[in-house]
């Protein structure tokens, strides 16, 4: 496919009713390496490529963190980046909305495109509203719940919107993140007083409020309890039809539960990518087999 | 065994048990802390006792305008030797007003300037410049204020006198107040120069300590650097910035020698009706008044009047600390520090 030609984009508004894929409760969902515990295991036939990495190399000074990675990120499916610590997953993820540029020593080579348009050609603030990021540690701002969610809306507007005008989009974002029922009685509650899981869902709501097209998640559940993790994983499955989701995870079971496609990285290189079933059931590369099989990690 | 240790701990000290070393250390530290508190309390009581005759004689009108404070102070200084005929009459409003004006204006100018400087240093400056700026600011903060005063009185005051003061204005006010370059403008200017470095240093530290993750979170939402620092950085650093303002205000309030040199040293309340010329009129802030009058301490009522100024300074610094504490409260609600 010609990388300069933008692919036909199927934009689904976030306002549309979510097409929920509820995982059926079948019995084989427990334990490592067990079968995929949800319906919709097949990648969506409607998946559309939104972002494309070609020969992406990222270096911190002399140290190469990501080495010539080719990757396609598609709307309609969830892409999981897996691999041991320090393999460059997070760096690759951060380069997708140019957050690596906040690190002075980082340099990038290769080409990343969003809808066929080079990332460097897109104004960085616009890029980051379209490609939003949720971090490993929940980082809600020291404001009320409402102000956190409204933050991007207020900053994105050319004229400061009035609070009543924000109430509806804020509620929608909180509902989508599955936090509404817990905070609706007191939206002025300080965000930093929420529990860890609530904080992370608030951060997701904050990202969703700006209606991003791609959502990057950097180990969003690593600091969370199992219940919050389940909530967020369900949320990811709901989102994938409307937003291209990339999730970095240490947790292989989580990758199996949520991902349609999996990319395995090792020492900065993309060793193998494929559908979830390919990677977990029939990995081609020996290193993938070792990692997925638990030989190292 | 444990019970025995517990019993030893619970046994009253009066029973003649030797104190362990940690216990003795605790006692010493406690005594030191209490001693410090007692010292401060003692100083407060002493100053207020000394100042009392001046306040008692004038009542609340001590704080109000009325008459010429210069001649009033001279009358106090020339009181008869008989304690029954001591003169205390003083309307200190021009002094308080001059202090308020010079300190307030200096802090008002210094705050945005120092905030922007600190922001530049922390975020926008190229690394080389930032490395150079930090020690420079530290050095400027450590320059003794007398040096500023000297430059002010030898260079800036004559310049202002030659270039900014119009002859007609000088003639107009001559019967009431001498104009000679030193005055509100110069005092405010040099005070600002004096407090800006401290405020830059404090603000830069405050901005540096804003959690990276919040700034990154804001950047990841597509908010540009400037707005990110304004909405998240400065907002989060507000308590520390407020603390810096308090510290700088305290320093400006307590500045004596330098202000005595450049403020015109004539007790006068600059008149807003004079328009911009108001800035050229002399003032004499509280601390400067104490310094100027220091040689008259042998005259008892005069000394007591100076103590009254000191008492006002003490009370205002107390209010300043309270204000600094209050400024921290809204962020505490959000769990910041």
d(CA A234, CA A222): 16
Note the pLDDT of residue B111.
Answer: 95
Helices A196-209 & A226-239 angle (0-180, nearest 10): 20
Note the pLDDT of residue A37.
Answer: 43
Q: Do A152 and B221 touch (CB under 8 A)?
A: yes
pLDDT of B114 over the 80 cut: yes
Note the pLDDT of residue B171.
Answer: 81
Q: Does the CB of B336 have a partner CB in chain A at under 8 Å?
A: yes
- Pair B119, B229: CB distance under 8 Å: yes
pLDDT of B3 over the 80 cut: no
- Find the mean pLDDT for residues A81-90: 90
- Pair B98, B270: CB distance under 8 Å: yes
Q: Which residues pair with A106 in a beta bridge?
A: A60
When comparing pLDDT for A23 and A268, which is higher?
A: A268
Q: Do B218 and A133 touch (CB under 8 A)?
A: no
Q: Would you kindly state where each structural domain of chain B is located, as residue ranges?
A: 96-333
* Smallest CA–CA distance from A149 into chain B, residue: B221
State the greatest distance between any 2 C-alpha atoms of chain A, in Å, as a whole number.
57
Nearest CB neighbour to B216, from listed A102, A124, A191: A102
Q: Do B221 and A151 touch (CB under 8 A)?
A: yes
Nearest CB neighbour to A193, from listed B216, B221, B335: B335
d(CA B194, CA B252): 8
pLDDT tens column, A20-55? 444 444 444 333 333 344 444 455 566 788 899 999
pLDDT of B4 over the 70 cut: no
Q: What is the ipTM of this complex?
A: 0.80
Residue carrying the six token digits 């009325």: B66
To the nearest whole Å, the CA of B264 is away from the closest chain A CA by: 47
Q: Residue A144 phi/psi, 5° resolution?
A: -75, 165
Superfamily of domain covering B96-333: MetI-like (1.10.3720.10)
Q: Which residues pair with A112 in a beta bridge?
A: A53
Contacts of A253 by beta carbon, 8 Å cutoff, 6+ apart:
A32
Q: Do B231 and A128 touch (CB under 8 A)?
A: no
Q: What is the DSSP string of B80-108?
A: -SSGGG-------HHHHHHHHHHHHHHHH
Q: Do B217 and A141 touch (CB under 8 A)?
A: yes
pLDDT of B321 over the 80 cut: yes
d(CA A103, CA A105): 6
Note the pLDDT of residue B5.
Answer: 67
Q: Does the CB of B232 have a partner CB in chain A at under 8 Å?
A: yes
Note the pLDDT of residue B1.
Answer: 52
Q: Does the CB of B223 have a partner CB in chain A at under 8 Å?
A: yes
To test the contact with chain B by mutation, choose from A139, A149, A169 the residue with the greatest count of B C-beta atoms within 10 A, namely: A139
Q: Does the CB of A105 have a partner CB in chain B at under 8 Å?
A: no
Strand ranges (E), chain B:
none
Note the pLDDT of residue A28.
Answer: 41
Q: Do A135 and B220 touch (CB under 8 A)?
A: yes
% of chain B beyond a pLDDT of 70: 93
| Sheet strands side by side (includes A48-60) | A63-75, A48-60, A106-114, A117-118
When comparing pLDDT for B60 and A14, which is higher?
A: B60
Note the pLDDT of residue B13.
Answer: 58
To test the contact with chain B by mutation, choose from A140, A155, A189, A219 the residue with the greatest count of B C-beta atoms within 10 A, namely: A155
When comparing pLDDT for B96 and B174, which is higher?
A: B96
- Find the mean pLDDT for residues B221-227: 90
To test the contact with chain B by mutation, choose from A142, A169, A186, A246 the residue with the greatest count of B C-beta atoms within 10 A, namely: A142
Of A229, A178, A102, A122, the closest CA to residue B214 belongs to A102
Q: Give B173's pLDDT tier (boundaries 50, 70, 90).
A: confident
Q: Which residues pair with A246 in a beta bridge?
A: A79, A216
Q: What is the DSSP string of B31-82?
A: HHHHHHHHHHHHHHHHHHHHHHHHHHHHGGGGGS--S-HHHHHHHHHT--SS
pLDDT tens column, A123-173? 999 999 999 999 999 999 999 999 999 998 998 887 888 888 899 999 999
Note the pLDDT of residue B329.
Answer: 78
- Per-chain mean pLDDT for chain B: 88
Note the pLDDT of residue A202.
Answer: 93
d(CA A65, CA A100): 11
Note the pLDDT of residue B147.
Answer: 93
Task: For A47-56, give one letter per residue: b (16+ CB within 10 A) or e.
Answer: bbbbbbbeeb
Q: Do B221 and A102 touch (CB under 8 A)?
A: no
Q: Does the CB of A99 have a partner CB in chain B at under 8 Å?
A: yes
Q: Give B9's pLDDT tier (boundaries 50, 70, 90).
A: low
pLDDT of B163 over the 60 cut: yes
Q: Give B335's pLDDT tier (boundaries 50, 70, 90).
A: low
- Find the mean pLDDT for residues A82-105: 90
d(CA B76, CA B302): 6
- Pair B64, B254: CB distance under 8 Å: no
Note the pLDDT of residue B98.
Answer: 92
pLDDT of A91 over the 80 cut: yes
% of chain A beyond a pLDDT of 70: 84
- Find the mean pLDDT for residues B68-82: 86
To test the contact with chain A by mutation, choose from B217, B226, B329, B333 the residue with the greatest count of A C-beta atoms within 10 A, namely: B217
Note the pLDDT of residue B190.
Answer: 93
- Find the mean pLDDT for residues B174-187: 84
């Amino acid at each position: 496919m010609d990388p300069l030609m933008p692919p036909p984009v199927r934009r689904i508004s976030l306002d549309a009713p979510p097409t929920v894929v509820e995982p059926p409760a079948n019995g084989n969902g427990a334990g490592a390496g067990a079968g995929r515990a949800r319906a919709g295991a097949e990648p969506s036939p409607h998946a559309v490529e939104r972002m494309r990495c070609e020969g992406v190399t990222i270096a911190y000074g002399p140290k190469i963190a990501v080495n010539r990675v080719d990757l396609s990120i598609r709307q309609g499916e969830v892409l999981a980046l897996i691999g041991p610590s320090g393999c460059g997953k997070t760096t690759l993820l951060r380069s997708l909305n140019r957050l690596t540029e906040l690190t002075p020593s980082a340099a990038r080579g290769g080409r990343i495109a969003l809808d066929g348009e080079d990332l460097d050609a897109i104004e960085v603030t616009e890029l980051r509203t379209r490609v939003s990021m949720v971090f490993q540690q929940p980082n809600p701002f020291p404001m009320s719940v409402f102000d956190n969610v409204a933050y991007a809306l207020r900053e994105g507007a050319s004229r400061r919107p009035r609070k009543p005008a924000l109430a509806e989009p804020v509620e929608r974002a909180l509902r989508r993140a599955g936090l509404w029922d817990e905070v609706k009685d007191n939206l002025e509650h300080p965000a930093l007083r929420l529990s860890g899981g609530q904080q992370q869902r608030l951060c997701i709501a904050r990202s969703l409020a700006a209606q991003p097209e791609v959502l990057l998640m950097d180990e969003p559940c690593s600091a969370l309890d199992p219940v919050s993790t389940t909530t967020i994983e369900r949320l990811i499955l709901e989102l994938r039809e409307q937003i291209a989701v990339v999730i970095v995870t240490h947790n292989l079971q989580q990758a199996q539960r949520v991902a349609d496609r999996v990319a395995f990285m090792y020492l900065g290189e993309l060793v193998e990518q494929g559908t979830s079933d390919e990677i977990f059931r029939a990995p081609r590369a020996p290193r993938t087999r070792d990692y997925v099989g638990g030989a190292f990690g | 065994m444990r019970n025995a240790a517990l019993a030893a701990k619970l046994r009253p000290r009066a029973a003649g048990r030797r104190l362990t070393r940690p216990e003795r250390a605790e006692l010493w530290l406690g005594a030191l802390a209490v001693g410090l508190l007692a010292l401060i309390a003692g100083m407060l009581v002493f100053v207020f006792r000394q100042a009392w005759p001046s306040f008692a004689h004038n009542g609340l009108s001590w704080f109000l305008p009325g008459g010429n404070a210069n001649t009033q102070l001279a009358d106090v200084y020339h009181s008869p030797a008989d304690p029954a005929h001591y003169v205390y009459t003083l309307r200190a409003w021009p002094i308080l007003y001059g202090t308020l004006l010079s300190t307030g204006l200096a802090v008002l100018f210094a705050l945005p300037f120092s905030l922007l400087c600190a922001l530049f240093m922390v975020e926008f400056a190229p690394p080389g410049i930032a490395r150079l700026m930090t020690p420079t600011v530290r050095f400027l903060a450590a320059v003794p204020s007398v040096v500023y005063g000297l430059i002010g009185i030898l260079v800036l005051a004559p310049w202002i006198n030659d270039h900014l003061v119009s002859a007609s204005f000088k003639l107009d006010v001559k019967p009431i107040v001498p104009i000679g370059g030193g005055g509100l403008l110069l005092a405010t200017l040099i005070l600002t120069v004096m407090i800006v470095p401290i405020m830059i240093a404090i603000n830069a530290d405050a901005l540096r300590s804003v959690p990276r993750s919040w700034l990154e979170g804001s950047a990841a939402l597509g908010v540009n650097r400037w707005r990110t620092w304004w909405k998240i950085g400065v907002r989060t650093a507000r308590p520390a910035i407020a603390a810096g303002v308090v510290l700088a205000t305290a320093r400006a309030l307590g500045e004596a020698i330098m202000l005595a040199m450049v403020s015109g040293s004539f007790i006068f309340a600059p008149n807003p009706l004079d328009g911009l010329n108001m800035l050229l009129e002399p003032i004499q802030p509280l601390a400067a008044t104490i310094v100027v009058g220091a040689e008259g301490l042998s005259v008892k009522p005069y000394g007591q009047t100076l103590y009254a100024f000191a008492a006002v300074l003490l009370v205002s610094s107390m209010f300043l600390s309270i204000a600094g504490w209050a400024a921290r409260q809204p962020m505490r609600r959000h769990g910041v520090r």
